[in-house]
Structure 1
C-alpha cells in the first residue's frame, strides 16, 4: 500500500512537472507567434518641394508647416517611421521650383532616394498673373486674360512633374491645390475665387494625367475658413463692407493685407500676414494629406 502511494506521488509530481513544461513551451510559442504577427516598421523617406506652403511660413516663425503633424499622423496610424527633407522656399513659382529640381544637387540627391514626394505649387504663379492687371471689370475679360496664362501655367507644371520623374521614376507624388486667402475680406470678389478654381483645375488635371501623382484639395477649408455653409457666407457678405464688388484691384488687396492690424477673420489663416495658414491651417493640410496617403500607400495599419 505504501509502495502504491509512493508511486502515485511520483506520477503526480511528474505530471505536474510535465504539465508545467508544456505550459511554459506553449506560452513561449504563443509569444513568438504574436511577435511574428507584428508588422515590421517601414522606413519611409519623404521629400517636400515647393513654395511657402511647403516651407511653412505663417506661424511661430519655425517654418515647419504641415510636416511635423504629418509625421505624427502617419506614425500613429501605420507601422512607418517617417523621415523628411523640406526644400520649400517662399515666393517660388512653378518654373523656379522646376529649376531647383533640375539644378540643385542636394535637392536632387534627396529626391532620388525619396519614397514619397509632396509638392505645393501654383499660388505664386497666380498671384503674379493677377498683379499684372488681370483684375478686370467683367467675367468675359477675366476669362479672356486667364485663358492663355492658364495654358502656360499648365505646361510649366507638366514640365515640373516630368523633371521630378526624371530624378525619381517610382516615388508617389502628392500635389496640393491652392486657395483664396482674401475671401473673408472680399467675399463678393468672385473673380479671385474663380481664378483660384481655374488653377486648381490645372493641378488636378496634371495629377490625373500623370502616373502615380495625386491631387490634394485644400481650397474649400482654407478659403472659407469657419464660414462653410451658404448661410454663414451670406451673413459674411453682409458684414464685410469692402466686398461689394465682384472685381477689385490688385492695389486694394495689397493695401488690405499690408494695413490689416486686427486678428485674422479666417480661423485657418495667419494673423501675422493674413495670407498663409496658421497652426490650424497647416494641421488641416497634414490631416488631409495623411487621409489621401492612406488610400494609395501599402503601409500596414496599426
Structure 2
C-alpha cells in the first residue's frame, strides 16, 4: 500500500510539473505584440491611475482579441525624438523590438501639440503669423525625419510588421479654450498625414 501511495504521489508531482511547464511553454509561444508611442497606446486616463499602462488601452484589447502577449512601451508626453533615442540607447526597447512578432507605432502627436501651442502663443491672433510659425515649429521639431529614423531603427532590430497610426487631433472641440486649435488642427492634419506617409514610404 505504501509503495502504491508513493508511486501515486510521484505520478501526481510529475503531472503537475509537466502541466505547468506545458502551460508556460504555451504562453510563451503566443505571438508577441510590442506597442511603441505616447499616451495613446499607454491608455492615459483610461484606468483608475496612470501609474502603469491601462489594460483598456488598445494594444491590450488587440492582444485579447488576437491572443497575443503584449509589451506596452507607450510613454505619455513622448515625442518622436524621445522614442528615437529610446530605440537607439535603451536596452528595454531594443530587446522588446528584437523579440517582437508585431509592432504598433503611434508617435508624433506631441510634436504637433507643442508646435501648435508655441505658434498659438506667439502669433498674437495674427492668422498669417500663426501659420508661418506653425510650419516653422513643425519643421524644427524634426518629426518627419525622426519618424523615418524610427522606422529604420526598428527595421535594423526586427523584420516584424509595423502598424503605423496617423497623427490625431489632440484638441477637444467641446472645450472652449481648445475649440479654435481643434479647427486649425483639423485643417492641417490631412496634409501632415500625407507627408507622414510619404516620409515613411520613401525612407
TM-score (norm 2): 0.69
Alpha-carbon distance, 1:208 to partner: 3.4
Residue in structure 1 matched with residue 42 of structure 2 by the alignment: 55
Matched, 1:194 2:187: yes
Distance in 1, matches of 2:79 and 2:195, equals 15
Aligned length: 162
Pair 1:83–1:123, CA change in 2 (3 A): same
| Of 136-145 and 156-165, the range deviating more from structure 2 | 136-145
Alpha-carbon distance, 1:63 to partner: 2.0
Structure 1 unmatched ranges of 5 or more: 1-41, 75-80, 211-302
Task: List structure 1 runs of 4+ shifted beyond 6 angstroms.
Answer: none
How much is the aligned-residue C-alpha RMSD, in angstroms?
2.4
Distance in 2, matches of 1:149 and 1:50, equals 21
Of 127, 133, 138, the residue aligned with 1:145 is: 133
Alpha-carbon distance, 1:124 to partner: 0.9
Of 128, 148, 160, the residue aligned with 1:171 is: 160
Question: Deviations for 1:179-220, whole angstroms, at most 9, x for unmatched residues?
Answer: 22312335455223234444433333234335xxxxxxxxxx
Distance in 1, matches of 2:156 and 2:150, equals 10
Q: Following superposition of structure 1 onto structure 2, how do residues 225-264 of structure 1 map, counting pairs within 5 Å?
A: none
SS in 2 for 1:164: helix
Alpha-carbon distance, 1:139 to partner: 4.6
Distance in 1, matches of 2:187 and 2:130, equals 9
Distance in 2, matches of 1:58 and 1:206, equals 31
Pair 1:175–1:83, CA change in 2 (3 A): same
Contact in 2 for aligned 1:101/1:107 (Cα 8 Å):
yes
Matched, 1:132 2:118: yes
